[in-house]
């Protein structure tokens, strides 16, 4: 058992969350029990995730995509209101870390991607960022676009969308998880052979051609299921508490 606010303090310090300008508040979003015996984590604080946390008798639900995003309406109504009501009724805390969990060099989504794809010599996609959100890595040996797509398909178990460029081989790879398709421009500036992210936009088709960078959409959920698991395990190990991951099987 651990104190809720000690967990939040440890996470904030570990992820350096105060140093990020984000689209939603990082850390504790809804306060529940003061003492935490069991953490459940999921990528997104959907009703399915909330229901799983209730069923698993969680004291804390940790997610990558929480609530209170910039531009959202203030009233807590509709689907968001229903989710929040369930959390409060069951005294479950909601904790969310967005960009800090993308960027962390060990626990983060991008760090996990680099390991899974066996990318080496990791560097920043944008060297002007204090805590780079995107990265560049290198395959040990060049792969054809078809072989690289097959590798991605195997690693992410996702129907990979490939937008081709005019390069016969891929070795230098830019990457950023989630909805970061527009960073393909940064990848082009760094002379990457390919760039991968989670989602894809209509405009990305033309950008891949004109920038001559292969683009691979690997799934928003599929590329961001790792950070919450790594952070939750780190919390559980540090505070000696129980933890579970809920796979939401989101096809986007």
Output the CA torsion sign for 102, 104, 109, 115. Answer: positive
Confidence at residue 90, expressed as pLDDT on a 0 to 100 scale: 98
Same fold, 2-97+226-242 and 109-223: yes
**Of 142, 233, 219, 231, nearest to 175 (Cα)?**
219
Confidence at residue 151, expressed as pLDDT on a 0 to 100 scale: 98
CATH 1.10.3720.10 fits 2-97+226-242, yes or no: no
Domain residue limits, the chain: 2-97+226-242, 109-223
- Interatomic CA distance for residues 150 and 106, integer angstroms: 26
**Residues 68-94, mean pLDDT to the nearest whole number:** 96
Confidence at residue 91, expressed as pLDDT on a 0 to 100 scale: 98
Mean pLDDT of the chain: 97
Beta strands in 52-108, from DSSP E residues, in sequence order: 60-65, 93-96
**Residues 160-187, mean pLDDT to the nearest whole number:** 98
Thinking of the domain 109-223, which architecture would CATH place it in? Answer: 3-Layer(aba) Sandwich (3.40)
Confidence at residue 124, expressed as pLDDT on a 0 to 100 scale: 98
**Residues 132-158, mean pLDDT to the nearest whole number:** 97
The secondary structure of 152-208 as a DSSP string is HHHHHTS--EEE--S-S-EEEEEE--SS-GGGHHHHHHTT-SEEEES---HHHHHHH
**What does the pLDDT look like over 192-239, one tens digit per residue?**
999 999 999 999 999 999 999 999 999 999 999 999 999 999 999 999
Confidence at residue 101, expressed as pLDDT on a 0 to 100 scale: 98
**Residues 109-123, mean pLDDT to the nearest whole number:** 98
């Amino acid at each position: 058992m651990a104190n809720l606010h000690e967990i939040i303090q440890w996470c904030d310090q570990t992820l350096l969350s105060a140093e990020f300008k984000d689209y939603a508040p990082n850390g504790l979003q809804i306060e529940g029990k003061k003492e935490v015996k069991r953490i459940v984590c999921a990528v997104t604080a959907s009703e399915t995730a909330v229901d799983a946390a209730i069923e698993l008798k969680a004291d804390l639900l940790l997610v990558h995509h929480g609530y209170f995003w910039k531009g959202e309406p203030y009233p807590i109504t509709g689907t968001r209101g229903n989710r929040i009501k369930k959390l409060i009724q069951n005294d479950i805390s909601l904790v969310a870390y967005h960009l800090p969990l993308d960027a962390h060099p060990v626990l983060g989504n991008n760090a996990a991607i680099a390991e899974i794809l066996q990318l080496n010599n990791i560097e920043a996609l944008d060297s002007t960022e204090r805590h780079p959100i995107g990265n560049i890595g290198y395959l040990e040996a060049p792969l054809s676009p078809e072989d690289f797509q097959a590798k991605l398909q195997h690693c992410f178990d996702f129907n990979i969308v490939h937008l081709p460029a005019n390069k016969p081989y891929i070795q230098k790879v830019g990457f950023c998880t989630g909805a970061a398709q527009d960073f393909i421009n940064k990848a082009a500036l760094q002379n990457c052979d390919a760039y991968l992210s989670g989602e894809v936009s209509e405009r990305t088709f033309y950008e891949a051609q004109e920038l001559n960078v292969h683009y691979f959409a690997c799934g928003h959920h599929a590329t961001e299921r790792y950070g919450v698991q790594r952070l939750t395990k780190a919390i559980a190990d540090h505070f000696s508490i129980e933890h579970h991951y809920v796979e939401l099987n989101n096809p986007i």
